[in-house]
Homo-oligomer: A and B are copies of this chain.
């Protein structure tokens, strides 16, 4: 057992990185007691040495030589984000025997398997609590707390930006474009908000969670992903009138046929606790055979909350450098297939503008029946002149069958318009 100081290298010193530096300074004595060794920050790799940074960041530790830095570290904290140079630096660190802590969801969703294997080959650890839902410890939950159980479903609100945008559209009646603009002005959305808005940030997170929970490999491009840009204030209002709230929900289900995984704006009934998650909070619900339903809620982003997640991983990784052992490994031993988009199973609400004449419902119902889609509920929502609005909710159905029905409905003479098709969360 070595108790000499552990050398910690930090890659990136933005909002989260500078909070990590602060916590390492402020809680040095705590971390030493918890890890069994001092943590010594030996360098901070940045692109621009001259950029403005908080006073507590020691300028003498800044360096542009990231490659050299990771080669002499016991622990490497990667907070650069994106694929390169993050991937090469992490692999270099692992190959030099360092354990790595990262918050890089895009990298894990795209290249996780390569990193997981490198970790096994080099007998080091990879931790990434900060990659999913900020301070909310869902990676711990799936890697450790539910390791004695069989997870059957994960669903959650894991992107704060979209939640803020939808909130503004719902409560202030803003259009999508207006709400995005306001979210940008308030610092909730990035200058280029597409990764959030189009659902890819949430897709990366659910891919990571599903890989752990189902002990299988799930890649980002296997996640059926739909963003929020087509939502309208009218749709949110109509949902509210029917007792739902609209949220961007990321879901992964373990089914007999394989893993069904998607990200989509969804109707969430008020009885579901996810309906009450507002603002930038994140929440994840896990369902497992023995434990039943568990819910984890908290701040999903921001410098300090994300730094808290990073540091918990640092403490765990450091303790293992001192006393041996390793983190749970991402072994894809279950090797479950991921269902194609058409095969995934969901519940949908379809809203149609139809001619208000006798026999319309029979025609519409027949189209669903022909496609093999079973209807759970039909409601005539509104009526205007010669038209009526029909709202139909399906039973669980495959997306392929639903798409077939929708395609037929668009052809049907009594249907003026398919207003929307939206997921329903149970």
Given pairs A137-B145, A140-B141, A144-B316, 8 additional interface contacts (CB within 8 A):
A23-B148, A34-B328, A136-B294, A137-B141, A140-B145, A144-B144, A293-B298, A296-B297
- Tell me which of B30, B295, B325 contacts A150 (CB under 8 A): B30
Residues A26-45 near B (CB distance < 8 A): 27, 30-31, 33-34
Per-residue interface assignment for chain A, residues 289 to 310, with 1 indicating a CB less than 8 Å from any chain B CB and 0 otherwise: 1111111111100001101111
Q: Say yes or no: A144-B312 contact (C-beta < 8 A), given A33-B215, A324-B324.
A: yes
Residues A324-363 near B (CB distance < 8 A): 324-326, 328, 331, 333-334
10 contacts across the A-B interface (CB closer than 8 A):
A27-B148, A140-B145, A148-B314, A288-B308, A290-B304, A291-B304, A294-B296, A295-B296, A296-B297, A325-B326
Query: CA A148 – CA B31 in complex, angstroms?
Result: 7
Residues A116-172 near B (CB distance < 8 A): 129, 135-137, 140-141, 144-150
Q: What chain B residues lie within 8 Å of A30 (beta carbons)?
A: 150, 215, 334
Q: Is the CB of B146 within 8 A of A312?
A: yes
Give A314's nearest chain B residue, CB to CB: B148
Interface residues of A (CB under 8 A from B): 19, 23, 27, 30-31, 33-34, 129, 135-137, 140-141, 144-150, 215, 273, 276, 288-299, 304-305, 307-316, 319-320, 323-326, 328, 331, 333-334
Q: What chain B residues lie within 8 Å of A276 (beta carbons)?
A: 273
Q: Is the CB of B33 within 8 A of A137?
A: no
Give A310's nearest chain B residue, CB to CB: B148
Q: Is the CB of B328 within 8 A of A325?
A: no
Q: What chain B residues lie within 8 Å of A326 (beta carbons)?
A: 323-325
Q: What chain B residues lie within 8 Å of A34 (beta carbons)?
A: 147, 215, 328, 331
Q: Is the CB of A312 within 8 A of B129?
A: no
Q: What chain B residues lie within 8 Å of A309 (beta carbons)?
A: 145, 148, 291
Query: CA A231 – CA B334 in complex, angstroms?
Result: 51
Give A288's nearest chain B residue, CB to CB: B308
- Tell me which of B136, B144, B291, B305 contacts A299 (CB under 8 A): B291
Q: Is the CB of B291 within 8 A of A273?
A: no
CB distance from A303 to the nearest CB of B (A): 9
Q: What chain B residues lie within 8 Å of A293 (beta carbons)?
A: 298-299
Q: Is the CB of B23 within 8 A of A312?
A: no
- Tell me which of B19, B273, B323 contacts A297 (CB under 8 A): B273
Q: What chain B residues lie within 8 Å of A308 (beta carbons)?
A: 146, 148-149, 288, 290-291
Q: Is the CB of A311 within 8 A of B149?
A: yes
CB distance from A320 to the nearest CB of B (A): 5
Query: CA A325 – CA B321 in complex, angstroms?
Result: 9
CB distance from A97 to the nearest CB of B (A): 16
Q: Is the CB of B299 within 8 A of A292?
A: yes
